[in-house]
Amino acid sequence: MAASSASRHRHLGLPDAVRVCLFDLDGVLTQTAKVHAAAWKQMFDEFLRQGAARTGQPLVPFDPVADYDEYVDGKPRYDGVRSFLAARHIHLPEGTPDDPPSAATVHGLGNRKNELVLRLIHDQGVEAYGGSVRYVHAARDAGMRTAVVSSSANCRDVLRAAGIEELFDARIDAIVANREHLRGKPAPDTFLAGARALGVGPDASSVFEDALAGVEAGRAGHFAYVVGVDRVGQADALRAHGADVVVRDLDELL
């Protein structure tokens, strides 16, 4: 490899083999993870409150840090619903994706969460992390191709709202995953699809993730480098799940 090319890789904090960068959206590129956590909490607390009133059991609300990180962060929406309900030993019918947000089904709760997050995004707008945007620009200036790999069905709308859609050569989101029957994180399928979309394999790709499930997906897919982004003080957990390096913001790598 030419010295100038190796120098560019060192400037990005990446191994020489890396040719493309695969970025998670919420919590890595945009400050929407907290919006998702708020929507999950509101949806689950409403559901749990109804259950407590019906059974007379004490209400144990959804923890927007511990429960969010453990059960829903980075996962496809309905998988997050299933994961949290299983942790609380609550069994609901699956329903269908067309269930109304009021339905007491896995899909109904997921649709209610999506309704809430869209309202929050509409009311509050979307802000990108400045350090991440600087890093993406530096990666593209160094000749890297870039993709967004997100579990969200609202990925394109969020990218547009944040004004960063044009920084990415490909987008693998929940819409693509459903169409191509890709398993969600922590399975590596969506990241592998992102690498394919950019014409390389995992051995030439770096994954950038803030979610434990996403970091686990990067490791499971045998990607060349997995960068954990610690927004909530879980650096040790990110490393334990497979991150090669952990930073608080991506421009620390520059």
- List phi, psi (to 5°) of 222: 55, 45
99 is catalytic: no
Which residue is catalytic, options 26, 73, 230, 244? 26
24 is catalytic: yes
Which residue is catalytic, options 24, 67, 99, 244? 24
236: enclosing H helix or E strand: helix 235-240
CA–centroid distance for 124 within its chain: 19
233: region left, alpha or beta (phi > 0 left; psi from -120 to 50 alpha)? left
- List phi, psi (to 5°) of 249: -150, 155
Query: Which of 104, 73, 88 is CA-nearest to residue 211?
Result: 73
DSSP of 126-192: --B-HHHHHHHHHHHHTT-EEEEE-S-TTHHHHHHHHT-GGG-SEEE-HHHHHHHTPPPTTSSHHHH
Q: Which residues are catalytic?
A: 24, 26
